[in-house]
């Protein structure tokens, strides 16, 4: 898998799905190349993965969490699990507490 350039990953190109109904959000995710395995965790989370390795998780209450693909070093070792980004594709500081992350939420999830 080739490394992506800032602004080029699936989660960064995906338009905002804030306040969309679940069916509309799923449609937007599919149009952008994200696939869901059809499963939901016991905690109510669903994961939509992009071929580039980025993902969108939708959880309890319709909370949307976007994560870039993991980054790897030249030796193939993983550098990180992927940086979280907001609905505009901007990276969210790793030190920012989760309750202070920008909110993107589906309606009626």
| pLDDT tens for each residue of 13-55 | 999 999 999 999 999 999 999 999 888 898 889 999 999 999 9
d(CA 109, CA 92): 24
Three-state secondary-structure class, residue 90: coil
Kindly state whether residue 1 falls inside one of the protein's structural domains: no
pLDDT band at 1 (very low <50, low <70, confident <90, very high): very low
pLDDT given for residue 95 in this prediction: 87
> 3 lies in a domain?
no
Predicted local confidence at residue 17, as pLDDT? 95
Condensed to tens digits (0 to 9), the pLDDT of residues 92-106 reads: 988 888 888 888 999
All residues at 6 or more sequence positions from 60 whose CB lies less than 8 Å from its CB, including other chains? 43, 44, 45, 109
More confident: 2 or 94: 94
Cα gap 6→73, rounded to integer Å: 16
Question: Is residue 86 included in any domain, yes or no?
Answer: yes
Distance CA(87)–CA(43), nearest Å, equals 23
Measured CA to CA, the distance from residue 106 to residue 59 in angstroms comes to: 9
Q: Is 82 inside a domain boundary?
A: yes
Greatest extent of the chain over all pairs of C-alpha atoms, in Å: 45
Provide the number of structural domains found in the chain: 1
Whole-number Å distance between alpha carbons of 36 and 74: 30
| pTM strictly above 0.85 | no
Q: Which residues contact 26 (CB under 8 A, 6 or more apart)?
A: 36
What range does the domain containing 52 cover? 10-100
Let me know if residue 5 belongs to a domain: no
Whether 74 has a pLDDT exceeding 70, the answer reads yes
Mean pLDDT of 62-83: 87
Query: Is residue 7 very low, low, confident or very high in pLDDT (cuts 50, 70, 90)?
Result: low
**Per the domain annotation, does 4 fall within a domain?**
no
Would 94 be classed as within a structural domain?
A: yes
Say if 56 falls within a structural domain.
Answer: yes
């Amino acid at each position: 898998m080739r490394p992506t350039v800032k602004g080029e990953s699936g989660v960064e190109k995906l338009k905002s799905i804030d306040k969309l109904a679940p069916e509309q959000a799923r449609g937007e995710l599919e149009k952008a190349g994200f696939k869901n395995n059809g499963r939901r965790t016991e905690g109510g989370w669903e994961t939509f993965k992009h071929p580039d390795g980025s993902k969108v998780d939708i959880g309890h209450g319709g909370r949307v969490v976007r994560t870039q693909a993991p980054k790897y070093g030249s030796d193939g070792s993983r550098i990180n699990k992927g940086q979280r980004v907001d609905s505009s594709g901007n990276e969210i500081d790793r030190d920012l507490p989760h309750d202070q992350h920008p909110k993107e939420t589906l309606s009626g999830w």
